[in-house]
Amino acid sequence: MSGAIGVTVLGSTGSVGVSTLDVLARHPDRYRVFALTAHRNHEKLFAQCLEHEPEYAVMVREDAAESLRAALREAGSQTEVLAGAESLAMVAAHEDTQYVMAAIVGAAGLLPTLAAAEAGKRVMLANKEALVMSGQIFMDAVSRSGAELLPIDSEHNAIFQCMPGDFARGFDEVGVRGILLTASGGPFRTLPLDQFASVTPAQAVAHPNWDMGRKISVDSATMMNKGLEVIEACWLFGTDVEHVQVVLHPQSVVHSMVQYTDGSVLAQLGNPDMRTPIAHCLAWPERIESGVADLDVFKMARLDFEEPDLARFPCLRLAYEARRAGGIMSTALNAANEVAVEAFLDHGMDFPGIPAVIEAVLGETINAPADDLDAILSADAVARERAQRQVSLRKG
Ligand code: NDP
């Protein structure tokens, strides 16, 4: 086996997964693809297996795994195909992989991402929902195993780049006043409020600056994405919501900032392309080519910054409230959001139904400690049931 670092890409057929493979392919001497995983898209995984020749390919769905296995056998590929959600955790924790890209969307990413953390891997975290659901358990697993947790979300990656290396000692200790978390405001930043009820899924997934998967695109349109990111930032950087200020920045060039006690503000800038944070996490603490074009500062006409309007974006308010409440509230928030977004995208619920469903579920949730995985998984399941009921009521 070569000296190249083994990388598992969980969710390789998605938007972040594809960008990850693009960066990996630029550095074949440095990295080798150990395992690729997908849910059902066996055609795309087939093409990725032929190109990257991983040792394992995992399809969560048994029927899709069977199709992939047959196609790879026919093509003479050596890749071994595994099926089922348990196999995700196996390839994430395998001794022949050192790095794991956690790019499955939603709660489905929790168990394999946690398995990578428990096995002490370099965990490159795109799957923010895993951290929102189970922050304490996840961070405890990281510190127990000595895993390296590096943020892929462009904002958190920017914050990580602007923070002092010893930020874990505490903000006061290292002279950090707080985080300025930038947000584009999504496609509806200026839409008249009375038009929100007629927003279609196609409009909601058409993000002005970023090309992303459907769920995160809707999350950006409601600004729940920013709410989840506020919670993610609290866990990653060991702080509370009072030290995380969301800043609307429509151009998405400043990816976030850190404010210091001496009046300095450090920012990270770049073109909106996920290959930059991906390359940063792969190579950290070194730097490698990502394929992203250099930022042309002369073409950057202007950089605007505004305060977010919580009446326009109730999801952001709900995320702040859930984080302040602690316990299982963030788990319930995330679960209700996943159900509500799916209802909007695939089952005809209206766009304002998303915050309405989440608010109703949080109202019904009796808070409890989120100190073990069973408590998290049960809070997730109960919140999903409640959200489904709310969706049915909403659709009448
Ligand atoms: P996509 O929807 O594009 O891709 C999701 C990936 O997860 C696909 O490989 C999909 O497989 C797989 N998947 C879906 N459901 C399951 C399941 N139940 N079990 C196992 N695998 C599953 O998502 P994105 O790439 O946009 O986002 C991935 C994560 O990264 C999200 O958590 C998102 O918030 C985060 N993120 C994304 C950014 C972006 O620019 N896209 C930026 C920052 C963070 P299949 O193709 O077979 O369905």
- The per-residue DSSP string of 186-243 comes to -TTSSS-GGGGGG--HHHHH--SS----HHHHHHHHHTHHHHHHHHHHHHHHT--GGG
Give residue 142 CA to ligand 1 midpoint distance, Å.
Answer: 22
Q: Which two tokens stand for residue 349?
A: 């619920």
Q: Indicate whether residue 332 lines ligand 1 (CB < 6 A).
A: no
Q: Indicate whether residue 355 lines ligand 1 (CB < 6 A).
A: no
Closest residue by Cα to atom 42, ligand 1, is 153
Could you tell me which CATH number the domain at 326-396 has? 1.10.1740.10
On whether the CB atoms of residues 229 and 182 are closer than 8 A, the answer is no
Report which ligand 1 atom has the smallest distance to the Cα of 212.
Answer: 41
Closest residue by Cα to atom 26, ligand 1, is 213
User: How is the chain split into domains, by residue range?
Assistant: 5-151, 154-272+297-311, 326-396
Q: Indicate whether residue 105 lines ligand 1 (CB < 6 A).
A: yes
Cα separation, 161 vs 364, whole angstroms = 39
Report which ligand 1 atom has the smallest distance to the Cα of 11.
Answer: 9
15, 42, 207: residue to mutate for ligand 1 pocket, most atoms within 8 A of CB: 15
What's the pLDDT score for residue 301? 77
Give residue 104 CA to ligand 1 midpoint distance, Å.
Answer: 4
What's the pLDDT score for residue 29? 97
Q: Which two tokens stand for residue 8?
A: 């598992």
Q: Which fold has domain 5-151?
A: Rossmann fold (3.40.50)
Cα separation, 58 vs 84, whole angstroms = 7
Give residue 14 CA to ligand 1 midpoint distance, Å.
Answer: 5
Closest residue by Cα to atom 4, ligand 1, is 14
Q: Indicate whether residue 228 lines ligand 1 (CB < 6 A).
A: no
What's the pLDDT score for residue 211? 82
Q: Which two tokens stand for residue 343?
A: 């209802």
Give residue 284 CA to ligand 1 midpoint distance, Å.
Answer: 23
Give residue 176 CA to ligand 1 midpoint distance, Å.
Answer: 33
**Residues 133, 370, 142: CA angle, nearest 5 degrees:** 65
Closest residue by Cα to atom 27, ligand 1, is 105
Give residue 353 CA to ligand 1 midpoint distance, Å.
Answer: 23
If the chain, 396 residues long, is cut into consecutive pieces of 10 residues, what is the mean pLDDT of each piece?
89 98 98 98 98 98 98 98 97 98 97 98 97 96 98 98 96 98 94 94 88 93 98 98 97 97 98 97 98 94 92 96 98 98 94 98 97 96 98 89
Q: Indicate whether residue 97 lines ligand 1 (CB < 6 A).
A: no
Closest residue by Cα to atom 7, ligand 1, is 104
9, 12, 13, 16: residue to mutate for ligand 1 pocket, most atoms within 8 A of CB: 16
Between the CA of residue 336 and those of 97, 119, 159, 191, 277, what are the distances in Å?
34, 30, 28, 25, 29
pTM, two decimal places: 0.97
Cα separation, 208 vs 92, whole angstroms = 33
Q: Indicate whether residue 273 lines ligand 1 (CB < 6 A).
A: no
> Who contacts 171 (Cβ-Cβ below 8 Å, separation ≥6)?
177, 178, 238, 239, 243
Q: Indicate whether residue 157 lines ligand 1 (CB < 6 A).
A: no
Give residue 11 CA to ligand 1 midpoint distance, Å.
Answer: 6
